[in-house]
């Protein structure tokens, strides 16, 4: 006789098989296609939406988010060629009762854009990457870019002008509009002795904004028009990180002189050393931060040696570093080999959850072999001046090529996400506490023959979204940023970002996430403050993410109001966004719960 837990597992298996596109049959995970125009249904004018502009492309297609957990069948999608057409689409939607959602690359977990369970609301997606992607960079290094431009294209244009960012999200296929919506970030704080250059920020990409142009309602003309908000205007606070509750058309960004970076990968630092409570006891995370300012730890489950990446500003190529002329250098993490997909099939489809530790070790082994290259890689690096080598554990090049390292072909996982605001001196303690509880929970579940986490823990550290980093005098702070500073704690100068990854539909994952979230919210008080990472999973119940009413109604308003002026609270930002969208076009069920 099956228990409720067994029945839940069976449901998860069915969902997983459906989601992964026949994994059990073909043995591989299907490549994700963000814009499935080959499968789109085009309609003659007489079958299109009533009175929709005939000169704007319109079709139906499947919407699917990054992890494949959110589907929306046959979503009406418009493809405007310029901003004028976007405004016409929006004003058509006003008259025809449609919500309007800007669609980027859908590299997101939280259902900020739409709810696939809502079959009543009429939703029109607006494809941004296809044409709304123009960019120009002036002699002062100010980049003016449309919201649909992808980060790789933006950073390439900047590189050609000798400009760059300190840190960015790792995928190159994110749109600028999407990155600004959720305060997309990388990993960076100043190393000891490092001086911030003009135009740089150690916070999120949103903190680089000089101005934002968005579609807003104009009561004088009774229609939506384009309006530009400047960084020194109070109302821009609500738009800098807007969660998709605004329709951003373009933005101006400050940039800095491009830097050359070296990225070294280490697999020989034991987790007890890296995450030790005493920050001075060996090669700790905090000590690496002091040395380079840019560190990421990827810790596969049931392994002892995390993959540690350390970036350092290095104007000239070190003798042992391989030169890199393009981004996405970690080929092994972007291509799923058959042994890996076979294990995925056994763990999820065949219910062989006991293989999860083996899966973690296999991920580590693949990483180790991929980084090493051939047996003579290090010698070849030196002999050829970095031009001909298969090793990628020590690479060097312009910033773009080191900051972008995740392709759409990487393994699709779900993830939770939080930013813990604290002081630089307390970073090691914050990390040590988390790693202790995480390890304890893994063991606790393992003893019950439960393996909810089969992906890695990822840890990064950034600065905060300090408005003082802006080149604009009297710049405003992003009200909805997860890393806005806490005026009542000026000593809190950085944020530790935590993500725990697992395959979608893994049994007992929601339980694990719920317990970890509860512990984190309880622990990170007094010497720190925890806020959710908008694009990831949070607000957990034992059923799913974004489901905890008290987290929505109490926790989120509290952590965004603590020590803040009234103008930087959730409610203040909501009021501004509603003011400029009184027709509630740019919203979704999740946003309606968040921004009441």
Catalytic (active site) residue 245 = no
**Percent share of the chain, pLDDT over 70:** 92
Catalytic (active site) residue 460 = yes
Catalytic (active site) residue 14 = no
The SS3 assignment for 125 reads: strand
| Mean per-residue pLDDT of the chain | 91
Split at pLDDT 50, 70, 90, the class of 346 is: confident
Q: What is the pLDDT of residue 42?
A: 56
Q: What is the pTM (predicted TM-score) of this model?
A: 0.92
Question: Cα–Cα distance between 81 and 84 in angstroms, integer?
Answer: 8
Among 8-17, 201-210, 221-230, 273-282, the range scoring the smallest mean pLDDT is: 8-17
Catalytically annotated residue among 296, 517, 533, 555:
296
- Beta-carbon contacts of residue 275 (< 8 Å; ≥ 6 apart): 284, 285, 431, 432, 435
Is the distance from CB of 399 to CB of 259 less than 8 angstroms? yes
At 273, phi and psi to the nearest 5?
A: -85, -45
Q: What is the pLDDT of residue 340?
A: 81
Please write the tens of the pLDDT for every residue from 95-107: 999 999 999 999 9
The token duo for 413 is: 């996982």
Split at pLDDT 50, 70, 90, the class of 31 is: very low
Domains of the chain, residue spans: 36-127, 135-258
What secondary structure does DSSP assign to 283-347, as a single string? S-HHHHHHHHSEEEEEE-TT-S--EEEEEEE-SS--TTPEE-SSS---HHHHS--HHHHHHHIII
Among 9-13, 129-133, 137-141, 259-263, the range scoring the smallest mean pLDDT is: 9-13
- Beta-carbon contacts of residue 336 (< 8 Å; ≥ 6 apart): 28, 29, 409, 411
Q: What is the pLDDT of residue 25?
A: 33
Q: What is the pLDDT of residue 335?
A: 79
Please write the tens of the pLDDT for every residue from 571-580: 999 999 999 9
- Beta-carbon contacts of residue 522 (< 8 Å; ≥ 6 apart): none
Q: What is the pLDDT of residue 382?
A: 76
Split at pLDDT 50, 70, 90, the class of 411 is: confident
The SS3 assignment for 211 reads: strand
**Percent share of the chain, pLDDT over 90:** 80
CA 321 to chain centroid: 29
Question: Cα–Cα distance between 477 and 468 in angstroms, integer?
Answer: 9
Mean pLDDT in residue range 215-243: 99
Q: What is the pLDDT of residue 58?
A: 95
The domain defined by 135-258 folds into: 3.30.465
Check pLDDT > 80 for residue 255: yes
Q: What is the pLDDT of residue 46?
A: 54
Check pLDDT > 50 for residue 465: yes
Angle in degrees, 0-180, between the axes of helices 427-447 and 509-523, rounded to the nearest 10: 150
Q: What is the pLDDT of residue 348?
A: 76
Mean pLDDT in residue range 280-293: 97
Q: What is the pLDDT of residue 416?
A: 98
What secondary structure does DSSP assign to 416-468, as a single string? B-EEEEE-GGGHHHHHHHHHHHHHHHHHHHHHTT-----S-EEEEEE----GG
Check pLDDT > 70 for residue 281: yes
Catalytically annotated residue among 64, 458, 533, 555:
458
Mean pLDDT in residue range 6-34: 38
Q: What is the pLDDT of residue 378?
A: 81
At 90, phi and psi to the nearest 5?
A: -65, -45
Please write the tens of the pLDDT for every residue from 359-409: 999 999 999 999 998 766 887 777 777 777 889 999 999 999 999 999 988
**Which of 217, 90, 213, 212 is closest to 579 using CA atoms?**
217
Mean pLDDT in residue range 297-313: 99
Please compute, for residue 417, the number of CA atoms within 13 A of its CA located in the half-sphere on the CB side.
Answer: 19
Among 58-62, 394-398, 431-435, the range scoring the smallest mean pLDDT is: 58-62
Q: What is the pLDDT of residue 545?
A: 97
Contacts 24+ apart (CB under 8 A), 222-227: 223/91, 223/94, 224/87, 224/90, 224/91, 224/94, 224/585, 225/87, 226/83, 226/87, 227/580
Question: Cα–Cα distance between 399 and 167 in angstroms, integer?
Answer: 9
Split at pLDDT 50, 70, 90, the class of 212 is: very high
The domain defined by 36-127 folds into: 3.30.43
Please write the tens of the pLDDT for every residue from 137-192: 999 999 999 999 999 999 999 999 999 999 999 999 999 999 999 999 999 999 99
Q: What is the pLDDT of residue 337?
A: 72
Q: What is the pLDDT of residue 347?
A: 83
Q: What is the pLDDT of residue 296?
A: 99
Question: Cα–Cα distance between 442 and 461 in angstroms, integer?
Answer: 24
Check pLDDT > 50 for residue 531: yes
- Beta-carbon contacts of residue 255 (< 8 Å; ≥ 6 apart): 137, 141, 142, 143, 158, 163, 164, 165, 199, 208
Calculate ∠ Cα 244-249-255, nearest 5°: 95
Scanning the structure block, which residue is given the tokens 């493809």? 79
Mean pLDDT in residue range 61-70: 85
Strand partners, 77: 59, 125
**Which of 268, 449, 490, 473 is closest to 353 using CA atoms?**
449
Q: What is the pLDDT of residue 74?
A: 86
Scanning the structure block, which residue is given the tokens 């009021």? 575
Split at pLDDT 50, 70, 90, the class of 116 is: confident
Split at pLDDT 50, 70, 90, the class of 73 is: confident
Catalytically annotated residue among 101, 107, 163, 231:
107
Catalytically annotated residue among 88, 353, 460, 531:
460
């Amino acid at each position: 006789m099956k228990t409720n837990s067994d029945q839940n597992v069976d449901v998860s298996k069915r969902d997983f098989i459906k989601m992964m596109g026949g994994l059990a049959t073909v043995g591989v995970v299907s490549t994700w296609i963000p814009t499935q125009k080959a499968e789109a249904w085009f309609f003659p004018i007489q079958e299109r939406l009533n009175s929709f502009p005939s000169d704007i492309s319109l079709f139906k297609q499947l919407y699917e988010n990054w992890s494949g957990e959110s589907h929306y069948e046959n979503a009406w999608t418009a493809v405007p060629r310029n901003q004028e057409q976007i405004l016409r689409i929006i004003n058509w939607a006003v008259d025809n009762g449609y919500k309007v959602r800007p669609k980027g690359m859908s590299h997101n977990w939280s259902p900020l854009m739409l709810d696939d369970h809502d079959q009543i609301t009429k939703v029109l997606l607006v494809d941004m990457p296809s044409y709304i992607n123009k960019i120009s960079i002036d002699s002062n290094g100010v980049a003016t870019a449309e919201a649909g431009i992808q980060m790789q294209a933006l950073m390439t244009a900047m590189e050609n002008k000798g400009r760059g960012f300190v840190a960015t999200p790792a995928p190159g296929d994110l749109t600028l509009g999407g990155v600004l919506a959720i305060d997309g970030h990388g990993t960076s704080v100043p190393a000891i002795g490092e001086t911030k250059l003009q135009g740089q920020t150690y916070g999120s990409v949103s903190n680089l904004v000089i101005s934002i142009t968005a579609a807003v309602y104009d009561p004088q003309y009774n229609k939506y028009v384009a309006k530009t908000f400047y960084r020194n205007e109070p109302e821009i606070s609500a738009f800098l990180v807007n969660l998709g509750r605004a329709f951003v058309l373009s933005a101006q960004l400050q940039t800095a002189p491009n830097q050359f970076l070296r990225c070294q990968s280490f697999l020989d630092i034991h987790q007890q050393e890296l995450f030790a409570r005493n920050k001075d006891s060996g090669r700790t995370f905090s000590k690496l931060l002091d040395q380079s300012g840019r560190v990421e730890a990827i810790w596969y489950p049931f392994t002892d040696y995390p993959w540690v990446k350390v970036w350092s500003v290095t104007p000239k190529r070190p003798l042992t570093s391989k030169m890199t002329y393009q981004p996405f250098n970690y080929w092994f993490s972007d291509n799923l080999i058959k042994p890996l997909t076979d294990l995925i099939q056994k763990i999820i489809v065949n219910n062989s959850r006991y293989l999860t530790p083996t899966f973690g070790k296999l991920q580590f082994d693949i990483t180790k072999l991929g980084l090493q290259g051939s047996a003579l890689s290090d010698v070849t690096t030196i002999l050829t001046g970095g031009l001909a080598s298969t090793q990628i554990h020590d690479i060097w090049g312009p910033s773009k090529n080191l900051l972008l390292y995740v392709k759409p072909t990487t393994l699709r996982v779900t993830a939770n996400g939080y930013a813990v605001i604290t002081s630089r001196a307390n970073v090691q303690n914050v990390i040590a506490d988390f790693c202790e509880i995480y390890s304890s929970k893994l063991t606790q579940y393992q003893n019950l023959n439960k393996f909810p986490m089969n992906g890695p823990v990822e840890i990064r550290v950034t600065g905060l979204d300090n408005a003082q980093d802006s080149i604009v005098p009297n710049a405003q702070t992003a009200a909805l940023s997860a890393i806005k500073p806490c005026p009542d704690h000026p000593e809190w100068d950085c944020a530790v970002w935590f993500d725990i990854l697992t395959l979608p539909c893994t049994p007992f994952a929601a339980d694990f996430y719920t317990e970890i979230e509860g512990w984190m919210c309880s622990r990170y008080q007094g010497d720190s403050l925890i806020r959710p990472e908008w694009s990831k999973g949070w607000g957990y119940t034992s059923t799913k993410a974004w489901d905890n009413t008290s987290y929505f109604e109490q926790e989120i308003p509290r952590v965004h109001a603590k020590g803040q002026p009234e103008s930087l609270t959730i409610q203040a930002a909501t009021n501004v966004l509603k003011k400029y969208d009184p027709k509630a076009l740019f919203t979704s069920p999740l946003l309606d719960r968040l921004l009441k």
